[in-house]
Amino acid sequence: MEYYNYLKSLHLIFVITWFAGLFYIVRLFVYQIEANEKPSPEKEILQAQYKIMTYRLWYIITWPSAILASIFAFSLLYLNPGLIYLDYMQVKFGFVFALYLYHAKCHQIFKQLQNDEVKYSNNFMRLWNEGATIILFAVVFLIIVKSAINWIFGVIGIFLFSIIIMLGFRFYKRIRERK
């Protein structure tokens, strides 16, 4: 247990870098999709650059951070197995599972864009970018408040937060379209 706080610190650091990678990769997806609509040669130049940027971000920062955050999390659970039985931690595990699914979907989109397959609009990607934000809010509040009983209020809050994000997105889209 002497190393527990060091492991917890490393877990938190790699969770932060994992989220940073997820936030930025989806933003790069938006730019990559928008570049696809540009005329030649601008399109090819931008596409080539975004492919390099997304590749480096994905494989040098995001994937290693996800793996290391997971290793340190499992280490913490090994050292303190009682955490598994806490109600709030079980709810957190559900959100972490959702984060893994989000990451997997981002990987699928990454591979499609690396192969010049554009299956989503830039507007979809802007909304998709909020998925990680919602999971982050849920996990942080759950860990700080440490109450699974209040998770219902948290879910309601996340739902309302999502609605506010979507309304803000529509407002921003209208402003952008006027320009």
Q: Is 38 annotated as a binding residue?
A: no
Contacts of 142 (CB under 8 A, 6+ apart): 88, 91, 92, 95, 148, 151, 154
In angstroms, the Cα distances linking 118 to 30, 48, 63, 126, 161 are 11, 14, 22, 15, 29
Q: Is 103 annotated as a binding residue?
A: no
For tokens 């009682």, name the residue: 82
Q: How many residues does the chain have?
A: 179
Residues making up the annotated binding site for heme are 11, 92
> Which residues sit in the known binding site?
11, 92
